[in-house]
Chains A and B, each alone.
Chain A
């Protein structure tokens, strides 16, 4: 099957994703240096908060959306062994999303959208920012349609057969994104745009925060699922082994899609506009969604254990050193799992209802999401990039050795930057500040940690530069041709049967609908039943 068109589609998505990553990394480097207080000429509130807003949008919305779309198109066509459905449609989605990014970039880069990536009203940005963000999401819905249509057509052509695991996960992620984006779409379409465009005078920030919270948790699972997909379908084979359990992988993806949605109030624990009964309900759901990650740890590490033993590893832990640490994807997962232990633990603390008061909106939160996202998730994006680039370009990777160094330095940088960040949170440092001096004795105790963080940030900046260098050289330099393709791990025990609930999301959509009605129904309805007072717009 000639996949030239699919490779081009995926490669263009990856260029936008990593281009955004490169720009945002420079901004991250600037931010960490500015905060040191060592260079007064760098200090500018407008520049800092414009940078943080742009850095957040690029990393959390652009890198992710484009990477996930590109990755998914190639996984869909190779796992189903059929071309991407309607390439023009896929390219149209790419174009709409990219136009949205450019539209939003204009106010962001000119200081007219310094509202951070969460854009909580009543701080108001230029309407072009919100319109651009809307187009980015609409463009991603083209991708969602494409995944659902490809899966449905395959099933029709292969009645009674088991949908390949990689596509099961990818379809699940598309469905998850559709449900997830509904919250922020409602907030932007029904509240923010009419208010930003001047059609209505006031906005209810309580309802806006509730709708954003609908999106804010499951979106991180939309980012994470491609990393988990790589864990299950690529790593075992690259490590020299097999997938420990195909069925448990499917159970994990179902649990992630279903339970990541009705739990957004753990982002609103400290908010006054929701009652404690609902918060407790969401906290229970939040603890439940940790289970698929605990199961993933077992399935994936067991797959690695088998691979290590097949490679000669002996004893209880000898298989660990017997793994191919020089393979970038295998190294990426080993580093990713190490960061998942600490990032995941931080998540357990955040989820713990009243205990959230200890960490809410402190530096702990910033440390947490950099560890779990920039660490665990994005390092897998790097591993996937190293694996896919030769396949997509037909040229061998520029340097395997540099890729290994890049992954280790990313891990080192993340560790050095996020560890003190967590400690600063427990010492009471707030988040979203451009300088950390409060003319108070307590803030003096923060200084040593700030200085350590700067080293971590600079290591990360160097590592990011190395990544871009490797990918750029692999793309442009004439190196050995490469004509392999990605290949999918096989399960140890071949699967011959699969219950419908692990082959299809039809039933699960009804379960999600019921859960969302229970978890968000009244909490949203209450805003229409009680008299509320709206807010006018405020500049920054």
Chain B
């Protein structure tokens, strides 16, 4: 089969360029732990209030004995619960999101906190907020007529301020 010399070179260059991007993505996944949130775990969305983990008084931020920061949130038409949470900046936070009704999605603008919230599954995503500030928490998947109004708030507190407010936690990161 006859292929023009320049076309062959272009095909090889394109393959090479694509290869570079794929290798960079694989490198960041394997060696830097940059992944899409992919924790496969089921839960009965119709019975969240009966679960220990997502009972109302267990929602929001909690820190376990190893110092790991967990935030448990429930999405349901048309809010995220709890509606206001505070977390420290520059600290690894693991979010666990569940839906009590339909499909939702959530992202915090200007951060990498983004995930779908599929009823029947727990969506777990771990991220770090580099910059302190007040951020909205927005629903980004159509969930009905109130979708436009579905949002909550998160305050990311500067790390030194957090440590001053929570001396019992010691030096965590």
Contact = CB atoms under 8 A, between A and B. Distances in A.
B155 interface: no
B38 A533 contact: no
Contacts of B117: 272
Interface string B45-80: 110000000000000000000000000000000000
Given A358-B112, A536-B46, A272 B142 contact: no
A533 B123 CA distance: 15
Contact of B40 (A247, A272, A355): A272
Contacts of A269: 36
Interface of B: 1-4, 6-7, 10-11, 14-15, 18, 21-22, 25-26, 28-29, 34-46, 101-103, 105, 107-110, 112-124, 135-136, 138-148, 151
Contact of A302 (B7, B25, B107): B7
Contacts of B25: 280, 283, 352-355
A10 to B, nearest CB: 33
A361 B140 contact: yes
A356 to B, nearest CB: 6
Contact of B42 (A49, A288, A442, A533): A533
Contact of A205 (B21, B35, B46, B120): B120
A206 interface: yes
B127 to A, nearest CB: 8
Contacts of A298: 6-7, 10-11
Q: Sorted from nearest, which 9 A-B pairs have the closest CB atoms?
A: A428-B109, A430-B140, A361-B140, A276-B38, A294-B14, A272-B123, A432-B142, A357-B114, A269-B36
Contacts of B35: 276, 353-354
A433 B44 CA distance: 28
Nearest to A429: B109
B41 A272 contact: yes
Contacts of A493: 2
Given A248-B3, A535-B119, A538-B101, A270 B14 contact: no
Contacts of A352: 21, 25
Given A295-B7, A358-B114, 6 more contacts: A287-B18, A291-B14, A357-B37, A533-B120, A535-B46, A540-B145
B103 A123 contact: yes
A535 B143 contact: no
Interface in A260-316: 268-276, 279-280, 283-284, 287-288, 290-291, 294-295, 298-299, 302
Given A206-B118, A298-B11, A360-B140, A272 B38 contact: yes
Contact of A438 (B10, B41, B116, B151): B151
A271 B116 contact: yes
B42 A531 contact: yes
Nearest to B153: A440
A245 B14 contact: no
Interface of A: 45-46, 49, 114-116, 120-123, 204-206, 209, 244-245, 247-248, 268-276, 279-280, 283-284, 287-288, 290-291, 294-295, 298-299, 302, 348, 352-358, 360-362, 427-435, 438, 440, 442-443, 493, 499, 526, 530-536, 538-540
B46 A353 contact: no
Nearest to B2: A493
Q: Which of A245, A279, A361 has the most CB of B within 10 A?
A: A361
Nearest to A359: B114
A288 to B, nearest CB: 7
A356 B36 contact: yes
A510 B7 CA distance: 29
A209 B103 CA distance: 10
A355 B112 CA distance: 8
B114 A360 contact: yes
Contacts of A361: 105, 107, 114, 116, 140-141
Contact of B11 (A45, A120, A294, A428): A294
Contacts of B29: 276, 280, 353-354
B119 A272 contact: no
A527 B25 CA distance: 28
A209 B115 CA distance: 14
A89 B14 CA distance: 43
Contacts of A49: 142, 145
A273 B118 contact: yes
A355 to B, nearest CB: 8
18 contacts: A206-B121, A248-B3, A270-B105, A270-B114, A272-B39, A272-B40, A272-B122, A287-B22, A354-B28, A357-B113, A360-B116, A428-B109, A428-B110, A432-B140, A438-B136, A440-B151, A493-B2, A526-B40
B4 A302 contact: yes
A248 B117 CA distance: 43
Nearest to A294: B14
A275 B25 CA distance: 16
Q: Which of A271, A302, A526 has the most CB of B within 10 A?
A: A271
B118 A209 contact: yes
B36 A247 contact: no
B7 A248 contact: yes
B7 A538 contact: no
A432 B122 CA distance: 23
Given A493-B2, A533-B42, A533-B45, A442 B109 contact: yes
A205 B118 contact: yes
B94 to A, nearest CB: 13
A87 B28 CA distance: 56
A360 B41 CA distance: 21
A526 B136 CA distance: 35
Contacts of A429: 109
A273 B140 contact: no
A298 B148 CA distance: 44
A206 B34 CA distance: 23
Contacts of A45: 145-146, 148
A71 to B, nearest CB: 27
Nearest to A356: B36
Contacts of B41: 272
Contacts of B3: 245, 247-248
B166 to A, nearest CB: 27
A231 B117 CA distance: 41
B101 to A, nearest CB: 6
Contacts of A532: 42, 120
Contact of A348 (B21, B109, B145, B146): B21
A291 B14 CA distance: 7
A539 B108 CA distance: 27
